Amino acid sequence: MRRTDTCGGLRSSDIGRRACLQGWVRFSRDHGGVAFVDLADRYGITQVVFDPEDTAEADVDRIAGVMGTFARESAVSVEGIVRRRVEGTDDARNPTGEVELLVTDAVLLNRSASPPFEIGDQKEGVLPNEDTRMRYRYLDLRRTEMVGALAFRSRVVHLMRQYLERNSFLEVETPMLGRSTPEGARDYVVPSRRHPGKFYALPQSPQLFKQMLMVGGIDRYYQIARCFRDEDSRKDRQPEFTQIDMEMSFVDTEDILGTVEGMIAAVWEGLYGTELETPFPRIGYREAIERFGSDKPDMRYGLEFVKLTEVVRDAPYEIFKRIIGAGGIVAGINLGDRSSEVGRNEVDRYIQFAKDKAKLGGLTWMRCEDGVLTSNIAKYFTPGILEGIKQALKAEEGDLVFLIAGPWKATYEGGGILRRRIAEDLGLVPDDVFQFSWLVDCPMFEVDPVSGKHDAFHHPFVLPEGDIDAKDVGGACFDICLNGNELGSGSLRIHDAGLQRAVLKKIGMSDEEIERDFGWFIEALGYGAPPHGGIAMGVDRLIAILLGRDTIRDVIAFPKNKKAVSLLDNSPERIDDGKLEELQLLSLAADGLDLGDFDIDE
Ligand code: ASP
């Protein structure tokens, strides 16, 4: 028997012809000797019927015998005639729902053990827990939802490739075994057998190699790149994840942003057949923090912060005075026409939330009543200042406003967490709107306020936008954001060897360390490296957001769980002493070599 059709393909136009389907027994039931099987594969589900009345007498016992062995999730093959379903039993939700296959022959291809969970089209609530799904991922993958996610992912990547190939990009693979590429996380390392005590690092990103491709004249590169970062798992993080990684020569920032916008618009067109509005809004880093309380602003709804520091500077309110005196800020947010939905109890809950979850020192509220802002602390403000706050926040009768105060970044970021919470509670976050944006005008360095130590804001290969010794020097880097998530970041890169050395020095590396870790890279820049720049965007994250999935684990075929364990193959796993000895790790450890992350005693 050879498969002629998939389980999603038969329609009423096929009625009367023979077909052979092969797939898995999703459900089976017996109605007084008439057997029904829902036969499933990645394409759909078809109803298969065995009816002794409609079967040649000589075949009845044999077919009945075979179908009696059709345990759930067994792989089977059935041959028969496509016929219209009995009137009134059509399934309008199923594209094959008008027809059924009347069996004339059946074969059990491979019997399934009793599955640990039912593979239906379960809604969230009745899914088995995630660990069980991961332990039996091959069964989880048979669910329509998982198949759909992988098919969607494949389509998105295909559309990206198509666009990039059309635009002269070359797909080039860069090494998995290499030196560390700093992206701010720990490395996964691989011990070298031939060079005992030495390790490769799996790439945190192809950053340095893609820059080498630019020095090598490749000009426009892309790769669907697997990246490895040893950081604590979160719902949108995995130890290994996929980026669409790109780099271009002889470009400025707008060229890169425009290329990415073109690519996403092409994906949109391919997926939904609609035009995505470009260019995406650009917002400066400071402005994003001050308006949305986040460097990945969610612009799908209002509730923006307004700076009030100057308005309240002279208020005789001790707490604000102290904060402003120490260089902090005061800002407010107006709940506007949704204010009446937030009563005294809810206000108290937000005050608690602000403390516990948003790490805000405090949260002040005021309500506009009889034309003035009133609250338990209104007495500490002069009428003029209250009027100033009211105007700055455009507060109208009945409006509720919250005020936050404290150090610039932490306070706005805490405010951002609160803003999101309020928006979710009030149902202001539309889940069918996809709002892309660019975060631009970022700083070059992050400076520790106590030690003064400089760290790269993005990474140390970003082109500074001025004298690196000047205060607040910017970096030519940008992030692409979608609905309050960072999808990816990119930048123009340093192509001058001397400047690269100086930036690495600025972030605290000694000449020796620079030479040891990046000497090869800086040397390459010295051979006429072109001005260049690029970006990397998280594919898993993009797919999860577009599909409205809560975690990237749901769009990755074989993810690790929250503890970075693969429950399917049980990795990571100890390796036996023989293998450790082959790598000379045991003797090197005995000699006192610091094996760092490679804890052989575990
Ligand atoms: N390496 C990326 C870049 O192109 C950024 C990243 O991987 O997060 O700048």
Ligand 1 site residues (CB inside 6 A) read 183, 205, 207, 243, 489-491, 534-536
Alpha-carbon Rg for the chain, nearest whole angstrom, is: 30
Helix (H) or strand (E) holding 82: strand 75-84
CA 173 – ligand 1 centroid, Å: 16
Nearest to 244 by CA among 222, 266, 221: 222
The closest-lying atom of ligand 1 relative to the alpha carbon of residue 490 is 9
The CA distance from 171 to 227, in Å, is 16
249 forms bridges with which residues in the sheet? 532
Q: Are 263 and 279 in contact (CB under 8 A)?
A: no
**pLDDT score for 361:** 83
Q: Looking at ligand 1, which residue's alpha carbon is closest to its atom 1? A: 207
Q: Which residue has the tokens 């400089």?
A: 454
- Looking at the chain, which residues constitute the CATH 2.40.50.140 domain(s)? 12-110
Instruction: Please give the model's pTM, rounded to 2 decimal places.
Output: 0.92
Q: Are 72 and 25 in contact (CB under 8 A)?
A: yes
CA 256 – ligand 1 centroid, Å: 13
The two three-digit tokens of residue 493, written as one number: 């890169």
Chain-centre distance for alpha carbon 321: 41
The closest-lying atom of ligand 1 relative to the alpha carbon of residue 459 is 9
Asked whether the CA dihedral 128, 132, 133, 137 is positive or negative, the reply is: negative
The closest-lying atom of ligand 1 relative to the alpha carbon of residue 206 is 1
Angle between helix 207-215 and helix 511-525 axes, rounded to 10 deg = 40
The closest-lying atom of ligand 1 relative to the alpha carbon of residue 181 is 1
The closest-lying atom of ligand 1 relative to the alpha carbon of residue 488 is 8
The two three-digit tokens of residue 3, written as one number: 């498969």
Q: Looking at ligand 1, which residue's alpha carbon is closest to its atom 8? A: 489
The CATH code for residues 430-529 is 3.30.930.10
Distance between start and end Cα atoms, the chain:
52
- Average pLDDT for runs of 10 along the chain of length 602: 96 98 95 93 97 93 94 97 94 96 97 92 70 96 95 98 98 95 88 93 96 98 97 83 98 98 98 97 97 96 96 92 95 96 94 94 92 92 95 96 96 97 96 96 91 92 96 95 96 98 97 96 98 98 95 96 93 92 84 54 39
- Looking at the chain, which residues constitute the CATH 3.30.930.10 domain(s)? 430-529
Alpha-carbon distances of 183 from 32, 201, 295, 516, rounded to whole Å: 65, 13, 18, 18
Angle of CA points 341, 346, 349, to nearest 5°: 155
**pLDDT score for 97:** 97
CA 204 – ligand 1 centroid, Å: 9
The CA distance from 509 to 180, in Å, is 15
The superfamily in CATH containing domain 301-429 is GAD-like domain (3.30.1360.30)
Q: Which residue has the tokens 């520790």?
A: 448
The CA distance from 454 to 446, in Å, is 6
457 sits in the region (left: phi over 0; alpha: psi -120 to 50; else beta) called alpha
Span 12-110 CATH architecture: Beta Barrel (2.40)
CA 245 – ligand 1 centroid, Å: 8
Q: Looking at ligand 1, which residue's alpha carbon is closest to its atom 4? A: 535
Strands (E), 474-588: 474-475, 477-482, 485-492, 532-538
Q: Looking at ligand 1, which residue's alpha carbon is closest to its atom 2? A: 536
CA 448 – ligand 1 centroid, Å: 23
Substitution candidate for ligand 1 out of 180, 183, 246, 296 with most atoms within 8 A of CB:
183
The two three-digit tokens of residue 575, written as one number: 């390796």
The CA distance from 354 to 350, in Å, is 6
- Looking at the chain, which residues constitute the CATH 3.30.1360.30 domain(s)? 301-429
259 sits in the region (left: phi over 0; alpha: psi -120 to 50; else beta) called alpha
**pLDDT score for 191:** 94
